[in-house]
């Protein structure tokens, strides 16, 4: 799967992006999870246009939720690590393709439910209060410019 190149790569200086990995302690639907976050925060997360990745056989949709912090003027974005929907474009005729009907944005982190991103260069995820006994502590993670998720975040920013 290729992300469409929008810029001349020679003219851009890439910097790593710091994101947060959010693991849930319980299996909770997205609407319930964000309802609880909105209750205990001064933020109001709402569903935005899905992140869409076009594969050879499927189009994958990843739910995205955003909120704007009024005091720090920061935009926080939660992106589901696991595709919620996949639309088959054509029938798979090969036996061993690498494409399945479920996709993860971070293939090496399949236990991560959400990827948290902020508009700040140095993110402070402690501004967001998470529901007790529902979420493990947010794990910091750095994305390099060569990773597919880096390109996706840049595109949807």
Q: In sequence order, what are the residues at sequence separation of 6 or more whose Cβ sits closer than 8 angstroms to the Cβ of residue 52?
A: 59, 60, 61, 62
Q: What is the pTM of this model?
A: 0.82
3 lies in some domain: no
63 lies in some domain: yes
144 lies in some domain: yes
For residue 14, what pLDDT is reported? 57
For residue 66, what pLDDT is reported? 94
- Enumerate helices (H) and strands (E) in the chain, giving the number of each: 2, 7
Do residues 16 and 143 make contact, with C-beta atoms less than 8 angstroms apart? yes
For residue 3, what pLDDT is reported? 47
73 lies in some domain: yes
Is residue 97 classed as helix, strand or coil in its secondary structure? coil
13 lies in some domain: no
For residue 10, what pLDDT is reported? 45
14 lies in some domain: no
43 lies in some domain: yes
For residue 7, what pLDDT is reported? 46
Based on the structure, what is the number of domains in the chain? 1
Q: What is the residue range of 128's domain? A: 23-156
For residue 6, what pLDDT is reported? 46
15 lies in some domain: no
Split the chain (157 residues) into runs of 10 and give each run's mean pLDDT.
46 72 93 92 90 90 91 88 90 74 90 91 80 90 85 79
For residue 37, what pLDDT is reported? 92
């Amino acid at each position: 799967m290729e992300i469409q190149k929008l810029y001349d790569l020679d003219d851009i200086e890439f910097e790593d992006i710091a994101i947060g990995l959010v693991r849930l302690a319980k299996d909770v639907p997205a609407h319930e999870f964000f309802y609880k976050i909105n209750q205990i925060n001064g933020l109001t997360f709402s569903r935005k246009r899905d992140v869409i990745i076009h594969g050879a056989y499927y189009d994958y949709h990843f739910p995205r939720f955003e909120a704007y912090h009024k005091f720090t003027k920061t935009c926080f974005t939660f992106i589901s690590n696991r595709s919620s929907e996949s639309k088959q474009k054509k029938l798979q005729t090969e036996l061993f393709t690498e494409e399945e009907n479920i996709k993860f944005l971070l293939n090496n982190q399949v236990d991560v439910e959400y990827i948290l991103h902020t508009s700040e260069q140095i993110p402070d995820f402690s501004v967001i209060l998470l529901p007790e006994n529902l979420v493990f502590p947010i794990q910091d993670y750095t994305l390099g410019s060569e990773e597919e998720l880096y390109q996706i975040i840049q595109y949807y920013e």
